[in-house]
Chain A
Amino acid sequence: GAVVSQHPSWVICKSGTSVKIECRSLDFQATTMFWYRQFPKQSLMLMATSNEGSKATYEQGVEKDKFLINHASLTLSTLTVTSAHPEDSSFYICSATEAGATDTQYFGPGTRLTVL
């Protein structure tokens, strides 16, 4: 149980284009989803927290207009990197907490984004 999937697992795009990453909770309802960014050989950096049906809460220094987060249902959250640039290349990981059990986060497998 408590499986989180991400799609795509990797994506290559041209500079200036937008990329959408999906995060799904497969066997539970996720009231809260989190988006992290991880640089090579570094820890995870929380970008934003999203609750179903409401606006995401962004961490300091994260551009909300560049990283658009939508959490339209209890099983799906999306992260759209708008007007991507090479410096946006990174490993993006989402996680989700189950309704009624918010103490543990279950992580997706991650999405490798490469911007050329």
Chain B
Amino acid sequence: AQSVTQPDIHITVSEGASLELRCNYSYGATPYLFWYVQSPGQGLQLLLKYFSGDTLVQGIKGFEAEFKRSQSSFNLRKPSVHWSDAAEYFCASTDSWGKFQFGAGTQVVVTP
């Protein structure tokens, strides 16, 4: 069975600093991997996705993620965070049936 792990429940970062959110997956084959962002009381917005090909994926809002098969990871990065990046971030994967498995989420707090 597939699973997605986000080791960090909460991260605090200063505005302008870099951000990296960790995500590890467990799946027999290469999964489809996603990062979503959720602002308070809102639905989920797709930041980026990886299906195959180039392992460095560019997304919206200046985010990127790198797929590393050897580490079963799909970490999300942003070189310089803005106060508006404060939100909950979810990593997710799908299996061959299209069923999504979400990580527990990482709460990002941005300080001035």
Contact = CB atoms under 8 A, between A and B. Distances in A.
Q: Do A and B bind each other?
A: yes
Interface of A: 4, 6, 32, 34, 41-44, 46, 49, 91, 93, 95, 97, 102-110, 112
Q: Chain A at the B interface: mostly helix, strand, loop or mixed?
A: strand
Contacts of A108: 43
In this complex, the interface size class of chain B, counting residues with CB under 8 Å from chain A, is 20 to 34
B69 to A, nearest CB: 18
A102 B98 contact: yes
Contacts, number: 48
Contact of A49 (B45, B49, B99): B99
B45 A107 contact: yes
A97 B46 CA distance: 13
A46 B93 CA distance: 13
Contacts of A6: 43
A34 B34 CA distance: 16
